[in-house]
């Protein structure tokens, strides 16, 4: 496919659209332009299945109007055979039922296909507390969870990674979330369940109040609601690149080290041939912590030259901001109003992964290097372009709250 050019004007338009849109309005011309540009950018290095999610055929109100399931490109025969097994109609039929198993109906969907594995994103498992009596009588949640398990198995998912701080969470009549660990009848028992507790979006007010610098900032783990505990399977801890990390000390780590060690663990596991199957990443709603680590995983692999190989820093920036964050409904305007800038933190944090420590060629020396010494150059260009445009374009659009102490 012919390369699509992304200009500074295109990036400014994207940031303006993101900053102005308080909810996912899929019918606007600006939304459609972002959607189409992201499709064109992904098409350069990927084939994919498209699941329609427009107003007339909507599966999830807060997912993109067209959901893309990547299949890779120029794959070896065995990989192509595996990817082509996916049946678009069967996927959609499963989603029709399975979406009720997840908070806000944000069902598992692949965001990356690499090393013969699908890497997926979603929200957490729902509970029946918000269902009406008829839905409970008809066992809707149980049927949905069974379909959710089948959908994960269709994508070859073997491991589920959960960023939540709580084992369960309810917020009024808005949502009610549990986890794979707390689901009734233990339908997820055959998956590798990984718990990596990570601060929620409002923690990042501290980053903003500290002049957009997170160095030395720690999360206060003593909050009584924080009942989730770190849970990483021993085979992962014993991967050679992870042995030096004392994961049991995670509550002592400042936020940058916590982010770095979690990301290192994810990348090491994703590329490990001995750890079979794909992954699902999720937090509570799947639109704050989840896109942060989706974006960081994607950026690290892109900087290594193994995915999105044809994309320049400007093109890649447009794609990750547009697809991973905006189209999956990160609520940027509200987050910025209360200074909860996890979105900005994601790009700030990239300075700590510029060296080769988190490169897949370091994590697994058996992988042949394909992009000599360009990792740092690409990540620096990505981060600098983000901050060159982000605050000058978006800040004037936001009605910042002066007192955010009630959110801390």
User: In a structure prediction context, what are the per-residue pLDDT tens digits for the chain, which is 408 residues long?
Assistant: 556 899 999 999 999 999 998 766 676 899 999 999 999 999 999 888 999 998 777 999 999 999 999 987 655 555 555 556 688 999 999 999 999 999 999 999 999 998 889 999 999 998 766 666 777 766 888 899 999 999 999 999 999 999 999 988 776 555 566 789 888 889 999 999 999 999 999 999 999 999 999 999 999 999 888 899 999 988 899 888 999 999 999 999 999 999 999 999 999 988 887 777 899 999 999 999 999 999 999 999 999 999 999 999 999 999 999 999 999 999 999 999 999 999 999 999 999 999 999 999 999 888 888 766 699 999 999 999 999 999 999 999 999 998 898 888
Residue-level pLDDT at 12: 98
Q: Which stretches of 298-388 are assigned E, i.e. beta strand?
A: none
Question: Distance between the two ends of the chain, CA-based, in angstroms?
Answer: 48
- CA angle, residues 123, 241, 122, in degrees to nearest 5: 5
Residue 39's H or E segment, with its range, is helix 29-43
Contact (Cβ atoms closer than 8 angstroms) between residue 18 and residue 325:
yes
d(CA 72, CA 45): 7
How buried is residue 181: exposed, middle or buried, by Cβ count under 10 Å (0-12/13-18/19+)?
Answer: middle
Give, in order, the Cα–Cα distances in Å from 329 to each of 295, 313, 364.
14, 23, 34
Helix (H, G, I), strand (E, B) or coil at 216: coil
Residue-level pLDDT at 169: 78
Residue-level pLDDT at 174: 52
């Amino acid at each position: 496919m012919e390369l699509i050019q992304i200009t500074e004007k295109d990036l400014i338009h994207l940031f303006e659209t993101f900053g102005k849109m308080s909810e996912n309005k899929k019918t606007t011309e600006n939304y459609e332009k972002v959607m189409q540009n992201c499709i064109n950018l992904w098409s350069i290095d990927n084939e994919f299945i498209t699941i329609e999610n427009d107003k007339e055929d909507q599966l999830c109100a807060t997912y993109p109007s067209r959901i893309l399931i990547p299949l890779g490109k120029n794959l070896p025969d065995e990989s192509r055979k595996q990817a082509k097994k996916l049946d678009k109609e069967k996927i959609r039929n499963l989603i029709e039922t399975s979406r009720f198993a997840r908070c806000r109906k944000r069902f598992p969907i692949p965001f990356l296909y690499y090393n013969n594995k699908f890497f997926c994103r979603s929200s957490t498992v729902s509970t029946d507390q918000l269902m009406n009596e008829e839905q409970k009588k008809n066992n809707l949640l149980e049927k949905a969870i069974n379909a959710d398990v089948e959908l994960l198995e269709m994508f070859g998912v073997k491991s589920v990674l959960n960023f939540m701080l709580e084992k369960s969470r309810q917020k009024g009549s808005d949502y009610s979330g549990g986890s794979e660990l707390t689901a009734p009848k233990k339908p997820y028992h055959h998956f590798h369940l990984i718990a990596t507790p990570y601060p929620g979006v409002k923690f990042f007010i501290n980053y903003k109040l500290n002049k957009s610098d997170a160095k030395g900032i720690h999360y206060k783990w003593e909050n009584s609601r924080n009942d989730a505990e770190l849970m990483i399977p021993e085979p992962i801890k014993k991967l050679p690149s992870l042995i030096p990390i004392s994961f049991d000390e995670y509550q002592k780590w400042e936020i940058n080290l916590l982010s770095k060690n979690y990301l290192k663990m994810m990348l090491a596991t994703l590329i490990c041939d001995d750890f079979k199957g794909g992954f699902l990443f999720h937090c509570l709603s799947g639109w704050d912590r989840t896109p942060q680590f989706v974006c960081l995983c994607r950026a690290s692999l892109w900087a290594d030259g193994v995915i999105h190989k044809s994309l320049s820093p400007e093109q890649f920036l447009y794609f990750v901001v547009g697809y991973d964050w905006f189209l999956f409904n990160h609520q940027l305007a509200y987050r910025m109003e209360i200074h909860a800038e996890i979105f900005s933190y994601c790009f700030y944090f990239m300075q700590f992964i510029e060296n080769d420590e988190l490169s897949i060629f370091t994590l697994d020396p058996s992988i042949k290097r394909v992009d000599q010494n360009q990792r740092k150059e690409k990540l620096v260009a990505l981060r600098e372009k983000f901050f060159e445009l982000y605050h000058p374009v978006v800040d004037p659009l936001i009605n910042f709250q002066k007192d955010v102490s009630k959110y801390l």
